[in-house]
């Protein structure tokens, strides 16, 4: 599996609408970020935690495990690109996977932004 597929994953613009019910979310944990379609599995989603921030990492969840989905205002990059944002509720006890890409070095170099990661993966840094 190539990390390029993960970076090129398309945003999720629509998910099933849910009525907010406290009983659905009472035993859930809230995650915020930019939701994306999983590049290989239609039953999963990715959540880029802080697409414009210091520490680039993303989370993977089963879409069926999303107890509630709330669209948040988009954030806009310096070059005018809109990044969709959302808040999701995942019930406690469900499985999620956290990915933290890094450049192989001694010690490993973590990326300061998703743009820098894109540059390296797409060969702009060579």
Alpha-helix residue ranges (DSSP H) falling in the chain: 3-7, 22-25, 114-121
Beta-ladder partners of 85: 72
Strand positions, DSSP E, the chain: 28-37, 44-48, 58-62, 68-76, 82-91, 97-99, 102-103, 109-110
Predicted TM-score (pTM) above 0.75: no
Q: Return the minimum-mean-pLDDT range out of 19-28, 52-61, 89-98.
A: 19-28
CA–CA distance, 90 with 66 (Å, rounded to integer)? 5
**Does position 1 have pLDDT exceeding 50, yes or no?**
no
């Amino acid at each position: 599996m190539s990390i390029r597929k993960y970076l090129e994953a398309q945003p999720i613009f629509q998910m099933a609408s849910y009525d907010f019910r406290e009983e659905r979310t009472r035993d859930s944990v809230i995650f915020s970020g930019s939701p994306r379609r999983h590049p290989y599995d239609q039953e999963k989603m990715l959540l880029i935690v802080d697409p414009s921030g210091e520490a680039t990492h993303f989370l993977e969840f089963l879409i069926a495990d999303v107890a509630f989905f709330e669209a948040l205002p988009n954030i806009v990059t310096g070059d005018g690109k809109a990044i969709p944002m959302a808040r999701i509720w995942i019930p406690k006890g469900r499985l999620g996977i956290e990915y933290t890409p890094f450049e192989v070095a001694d010690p490993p170099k973590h990326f300061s932004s998703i743009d820098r990661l894109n540059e390296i993966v797409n060969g702009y840094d060579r």
